[in-house]
Amino acid sequence: MSLRVVLADDQDLVRAGFRVILGTEPGIEVVGEAGDGAQAVELVAELKPDVVLMDVQMPRVDGLEATRQILSAGHGTRVVILTTFDREDYLFEALQAGASGFLLKNASPEDLVESVRVVARGDALLSPEVTRRVIARFSTSARERTRPPELTDREFEVLVELAKGASNAEIAATLFLGETTVKTHVSRVLTKLGLRDRTHAVVFAYERGIVTPGG
């Protein structure tokens, strides 16, 4: 069964380009297009696609607000934010709105296709360029690290490493643990904090001051 995708962008040429890229991929079908956020919300309610590729800056309703409305409706649709702007505030607003992915429009066709497949299966995806920039500007502050009471000391250490963007292998090396143990700790952290995935663990840590924007 094909993954059903809606394209939301106020530029006709951008939508046409995405449609061509996705249209050549087996197992992916573009079922609708929207020129603004309000239309995107209406289309998702009507079509209930698996994934929406959502521009940020659109007339009437912007992509971030449209994402909030789509996800609050509970259709099960996943949203990937696509933007030309690699701004940290867009990234965190997108994740707080519930988006499952954040990709720059200059991403390769392969990355665009992969983003659809990744979020459709329930995982999260961030543009590598954006991830590197955000992590590079984060500094950890020991005095501001307040362990959430739900977590053990070890789970908190894992959360801190997650917030730095570390992989399971990197966390294992830093904390001298096995990767299987790390995977278990990550799962417990997400469950205890009510977080959907690793990406939202970064948002949680950012909001709590566990990691802070640094210069």
Whether residue 215 has pLDDT greater than 50 = no
Give the Å distances, CA to CA, from 199 to 28, 146, 148: 25, 20, 18
Helices and strands per DSSP (H, E), number in the chain: 10, 8
Is residue 143 scored above 50 in pLDDT?
A: no
pLDDT averaged over the chain?
Answer: 86
Evaluate whether 3-140 and 153-208 have a shared fold.
Answer: no
Burial of 20 (0-12, 13-18, 19+ CB in 10 A): exposed
| pLDDT grade for 206, boundaries at 50, 70 and 90 | confident
> How far is the C-alpha of 205 from the C-alpha of 95, rounded, in Å?
13
Q: Report the pLDDT value the prediction gives residue 38, as an integer from 0 to 100.
A: 96
Tokens of 156: 């908190």
- H/E stretch holding 63: helix 63-72
Q: How far is residue 213's CA from residue 215's CA, in Å, rounded to a whole number?
A: 7
Predicted pLDDT of residue 203: 81
Q: Show the beta-strand stretches assigned E in the chain.
A: 3-8, 28-34, 51-55, 78-83, 101-104, 125-126, 138-140, 211-213
Q: Can you tell me the distance from the alpha carbon of 209 to that of 193, in angstroms, rounded to the nearest whole number?
A: 15
Beta bridge partners of residue 5, listed in sequence order: 30, 51
**Residue 195, pLDDT above cutoff 60:** yes
Greater model confidence, 51 or 129? 51
**Domains of the chain by residue range:** 3-140, 153-208
64-73, 84-93, 142-151, 178-187: segment of lowest average pLDDT: 142-151
Q: Kindly tell me if the per-residue pLDDT of 21 is higher than 90.
A: yes
Over residues 97-109, the mean pLDDT reads: 87
Tell whether domain 153-208 is in CATH 3.40.50.2300.
Answer: no
CATH of the domain spanning 3-140, picked from 3.40.50.2300, 3.40.50.2020, 3.40.718.10, 3.20.20.10: 3.40.50.2300
**Residue 52 pLDDT exceeds 90:** yes
Q: What is the pLDDT of residues 166-191, one digit of tens each?
A: 888 999 999 998 999 999 999 999 99
